[in-house]
Amino acid sequence: MSKTLEVVNPYSLAPVGHVTTSDWKGVNALLETAHTLFRQSNSRIPAYQRITILKKVAHLMEERFEELALQIASEGGKPLVDARVEVKRAIDGVELCVHEIGQLTGREIPMELTEAGSGRIAFTQREPIGVVVAASAFNHPLNLIVHQVAPAVATGCPVIVKPAPDTPLSCLAFVSMLYEAGLPQDWCRAVICDNAVAEQMITDTRVGFLSFIGSARVGWMLRSKLAPGTRCALEHGGAAPVIVAQDADINAMIPLLAKGGFYHSGQVCVSVQRVFAPKAKAKEIAQKLADVATALKVGDATDPTTDCGPLIRPAEVDRVEAWVDEAIAGGAKLIAGGKRLGATTYAPTVLLDPPSDARVSQSEIFGPVICVYTTDSTAEAIETANSLPFAFQAAVFTKSLETAMQAVHELDATAVMVNDHTAFRVDWMPFAGRRHSGYNTGGIGYTMHDMTQDKMAVIKLV
- The residues that are catalytic are 235, 269
Nearest to 309 by CA among 82, 68, 18: 82
Coil, helix or strand for 169? Answer: helix
Nearest to 51 by CA among 90, 106, 96: 96
Question: How far apart, in whole angstroms, are the C-alpha atoms of residue 89 and residue 99?
Answer: 15
Helices in 246-313 by DSSP H: which ranges?
250-262, 282-295
Question: How far apart, in whole angstroms, are the C-alpha atoms of residue 414 and residue 94?
Answer: 24
Classify residue 453 by burial, with Cβ atoms within 10 Å: 0-12, 13-18, 19+.
Answer: middle
**How would you label 356-387 residue by residue, b for 16+ Cβ within 10 Å and e otherwise?**
eebbbbbbbbbbbbbbbbbbeebeebbebbee
Distances (CA, A) of 48 to 22, 39, 364: 33, 20, 43
Nearest to 238 by CA among 395, 373, 66: 395
H-helix or E-strand containing 90?
A: helix 80-101
Direct distance between the N- and C-terminal alpha carbons of the chain, in angstroms, rounded to an integer: 61
Nearest to 146 by CA among 183, 182, 178: 178
Question: How far apart, in whole angstroms, are the C-alpha atoms of residue 166 and residue 144?
Answer: 14
CB atoms within 10 A of CB 36: 14
Residue 85 phi/psi, 5° resolution? -60, -40
Question: How far apart, in whole angstroms, are the C-alpha atoms of residue 450 and residue 454?
Answer: 10
**Sequence letter at residue 154:** A
Angle between helices 80-101 and 65-76 (to 10 degrees): 120
